[in-house]
Chains A and B, each alone.
Chain A
Amino acid sequence: VASQNPVTMNAFELISTSQGLNLGTLFEK
């Protein structure tokens, strides 16, 4: 999920690592 220890992160920091939220891939040809 992330390089940081997940337990030290808040829930939304963890959630925002989802591939489904990384719209940058739409622009990759």
Chain B
Amino acid sequence: MGCFHSTASRQFPGYEDPVFLASQTAFSVSEVEALFELYKSISSSVIDDGLISKEEFQLALFKNKKKENLFANRVFDLFDVKHKGVVDFGDFVRTLNFFHPNASQEDKIDFTFRLYDLDGTGFIERQEVRQMLIAILCESELKLADETIEVILDKTFQEADVNQDGKIDRSEWQQFVSRNPSLLKIMTLPYLRDITTTFPSFVFHSEVDEMAT
């Protein structure tokens, strides 16, 4: 694929060599290049600066930049590995790697723990879960009485919070997810297996030799 040499991609802030990114992730070099096509389209949707802002991320997720969503914000924060308020290409590929069908279950469990540990204390606390439940109810327009929310929280913490200290630690989370594997469904994106067919135009911008793919 060395026919179309271009240095355009190297001018993207945070651009990293696809061969290097492939060596660190479950993606092949061609898949990293196909992801770059997706990345370019998201990062230029509002401001064409080669970086993904929260607004651009939400626009790609909801097709509507005005939609505020607690969970989308959390996911964006986890993509923003360097805490710069924006996601660069390396962040994008490394974080999507957690969602790869071949990523380890351990990594997926760890990602969900960080996702739900809203304030980053190292525990998923009851008030955080309550906050997330209220957010999901607002999002879905489903109405549940406060007492019903507390019943759901009681039931969840009885099962997950093994030492009953009112918060879920990493080890309790690991055990809870093992007993409820459907909770990891959000962590696998089958799309990532077909990324090169979804974004075939990567072949026109490839900067690596076919041997490397």
Contacts and interface: CB of A to CB of B under 8 A. Distances in A.
Interface of A: 1, 6-7, 9-27, 29
Report whether over half of chain A's contact residues are helix, strand or loop; otherwise say mixed: helix
A23 B189 contact: yes
Nearest to B149: A11
| Chain B interface extent, by class | 35 or more
Contacts of A11: 129, 132-133, 152-153, 156
Contact of A14 (B69, B72, B133, B191): B133
B75 A25 contact: no
Contacts of A10: 152, 155-156, 159-160, 180
Interface stretch (B4-12, B14-22, B139-147, B204-212): B139-147
A12 B183 contact: yes
A13 B198 contact: no
Interface in B113-171: 115-116, 129, 132-133, 135-137, 139-140, 142, 144, 148, 151-153, 155-156, 159-160
Contacts of B189: 23-24, 27
Contact of B142 (A1, A19, A27): A1
Contacts of B180: 10, 12-13
Contacts of A9: 152
Contact of A25 (B62, B116, B129, B148): B62
Nearest to A9: B152
B84 interface: no
A12 B156 contact: yes
Nearest to B190: A24
B174 to A, nearest CB: 13
A6 B139 CA distance: 14
Given A10-B155, A16-B182, A26-B38, 18 more contacts: A1-B137, A6-B142, A7-B144, A9-B152, A10-B152, A12-B116, A12-B176, A12-B180, A14-B136, A14-B152, A15-B133, A18-B70, A20-B61, A20-B71, A21-B71, A27-B191, A27-B195, A27-B198
B63 interface: yes
26 contacts: A1-B136, A6-B152, A10-B180, A11-B132, A11-B156, A14-B136, A15-B71, A15-B132, A16-B182, A16-B183, A17-B136, A18-B136, A19-B62, A19-B139, A20-B69, A20-B71, A20-B74, A20-B75, A20-B139, A21-B186, A22-B61, A23-B99, A24-B189, A25-B63, A26-B42, A27-B198
